[in-house]
Chains A and B, each alone.
Chain A
């Protein structure tokens, strides 16, 4: 999948720019995009390092287990293929919780850890497991309850009621999550 998307983005982008002119800017983009990639990772590294450090404490003290116990019935229903005491469940719960509260950047380290743990239980190391796909669908359909960035931006533009979109965002999220998880479930079943 990634092969195709990557080739598609680069191929379409370069060919289209060559056809419409503006080759100077294309050169700039090619040379500078590594730079913006580095900038992005430099913003991510401190967050990842800090949170994996803190979460290691939570893992050893058993707090992570407590968090995942809380979400257990819900997660067991969504991830039937994971082991009962899988560490992945704790990280999945933390990822969902962080996302839900609009702490997108804090959610990423948990998500990456969840993927690592699920990969340990994955029999085919080059193929996505059922659990991984369910996790990504749940993650990307956006379980945001408090979209902090959006609210901040609305405040900046003097909205009369910056928080009023919380309700519509939650309702829309419920629709997209249910749609995504249902399609995921149907496709998982079809395979068997």
Chain B
């Protein structure tokens, strides 16, 4: 599986180039034309990235999440949900780097083959930085009325987290 994901990019590049040659596309000029478009895209998302990183950093550095966890932790203990996973679940929709950092902590404290370690890996694999992606993608096409996009996306993530907990418990046990 791992080698497959390693050769997929080089293989894809090779196919694109040779398919272009075969269809008599002026590949070099076309590449430059597309790259120029990409530069415009990158230029356009620049402000929304700065804006989101600004707001997310202020929020994460305020330590408010830590306070929330300490309030809800007794309830989680009753439900047998490992406490260590909660910060990751909260941070995941807004920052990929921050949630990876938390997973890193979990691995170094409990090991990747512990219940929390497997749970963190599964959650990381089946969810995404929903709020960040929405801000980036809608910002690109200047859409301000997003209707039910956010709540639906977060609902899917929430189900993913619950499902991860159940599935990891069943397949690997809770040790």
Interface residues of A (CB under 8 A from B): 1-3, 5-6, 9-10, 12-14, 16-17, 20, 25-26, 29-30, 32-34, 36-38, 40-41, 44-45, 48-63, 101-104, 106, 108-109, 111-113, 115-116, 118-119, 122, 124-128, 132-133, 136-137, 139-142, 144, 146-151, 153-154, 156-169, 171-173, 175-177, 179-181, 183-184, 187
- CB pair A179 B159 closer than 8 Å: yes
- CB pair A63 B131 closer than 8 Å: no
Alpha-carbon distance A183/B126, docked complex (angstroms): 18
Given contacts A57-B34, A154-B107, contact A137 B54 (CB under 8 A): no
Contacts A/B (CB < 8 Å), 9 sampled: A2-B144, A29-B58, A52-B35, A53-B31, A61-B25, A103-B8, A175-B163, A176-B157, A180-B153
- Residues of chain B lying within 8 A (CB to CB) of residue A169: 121-122, 125-126, 164
B38 lies within 8 A of chain A by Cβ: yes
- Residues of chain A lying within 8 A (CB to CB) of residue B123: 172
- Residues of chain A lying within 8 A (CB to CB) of residue B130: 140
- Contacting residues of chain B (83-126) with chain A, CB-CB under 8 angstroms: 94, 96, 100, 103-104, 107-108, 111-113, 117-118, 121-126
Given contacts A41-B42, A49-B42, contact A2 B126 (CB under 8 A): no
Q: A133-B148, A172-B164 are in contact. List 15 more A-B contacts (CB 8 A).
A: A12-B62, A17-B61, A37-B54, A53-B34, A61-B22, A101-B5, A115-B138, A116-B141, A128-B149, A132-B149, A136-B133, A136-B137, A140-B130, A146-B5, A173-B126
Which residue in A112, A140, A179, A180 is a CB contact (below 8 Å) of B140?
A112
Alpha-carbon distance A37/B56, docked complex (angstroms): 10
B76 lies within 8 A of chain A by Cβ: no
- CB pair A52 B30 closer than 8 Å: no
Alpha-carbon distance A115/B135, docked complex (angstroms): 12
- Label chain B's interface by main secondary structure: helix
Which of A5, A109, A146, A162 gathers most chain B CB within 10 Å?
A: A5
- CB pair A115 B157 closer than 8 Å: no
- CB pair B138 A128 closer than 8 Å: yes
- CB pair B125 A58 closer than 8 Å: no
Alpha-carbon distance A40/B123, docked complex (angstroms): 24
- Residues of chain B lying within 8 A (CB to CB) of residue A115: 137-138, 140-141
B156 lies within 8 A of chain A by Cβ: yes
Which residue in A14, A26, A49, A144 is a CB contact (below 8 Å) of B125?
A144
Contact with A along B1-23 (1 / 0, CB 8 A): 11011001100010111011011
B32 lies within 8 A of chain A by Cβ: yes
